[in-house]
Amino acid sequence: MEFTRRGAMALGAGLAAALMLPAQALRAAADDKIAEFTGGAAMGEGGITLTTPEIAENGNTVPIEVSAPGAVEILVLASANPTPDVARVSFGPLAGAQRLSTRIRLGGTQDVIAIAKMADGSFQRAANTVKVTIGGCGG
Partner 1 sequence: MAEGVKPRVKAPKTAAAGETVVIKTLISHQMESGQRKDSDGTPIPRSIINRFSVAFNGQNVIDVALAPAISTNPYFEFEAVIPEAGDMVFTWYDDDGSVYEDVKSIAIG
Binding site for partner 1 (CB under 8 A): 60-62, 65, 78, 81-83, 85-97, 99-106, 136-139
Smallest gap, in angstroms, from Cβ of residue 98 to partner 1? 9
Smallest gap, in angstroms, from Cβ of residue 29 to partner 1? 12
Between 12 and 69, CB nearer to partner 1: 69
The number of angstroms, rounded, from the C-alpha of 106 to the middle of its chain's C-alpha atoms is 9
Between 11 and 103, CB nearer to partner 1: 103
DSSP 59: T
Instruction: Select from 80, 87, 86 the least CA-distant residue to 26.
Output: 80
Smallest gap, in angstroms, from Cβ of residue 113 to partner 1? 12
Smallest gap, in angstroms, from Cβ of residue 77 to partner 1? 9
**Alpha-carbon span 49 to 135, nearest angstrom:** 24
Residue pair 41/75 in contact by the 8 Å Cβ criterion: no
Between 10 and 101, CB nearer to partner 1: 101
How distant, in Å, are the alpha carbons of 3, 83, 87, 103, 106 from that of 57?
A: 40, 21, 22, 13, 11
Smallest gap, in angstroms, from Cβ of residue 118 to partner 1? 17
Between 121 and 138, CB nearer to partner 1: 138
Between 40 and 138, CB nearer to partner 1: 138
Residue 18 phi, psi dihedral angles, 5° rounding: -65, -35
**Alpha-carbon span 88 to 9, nearest angstrom:** 45
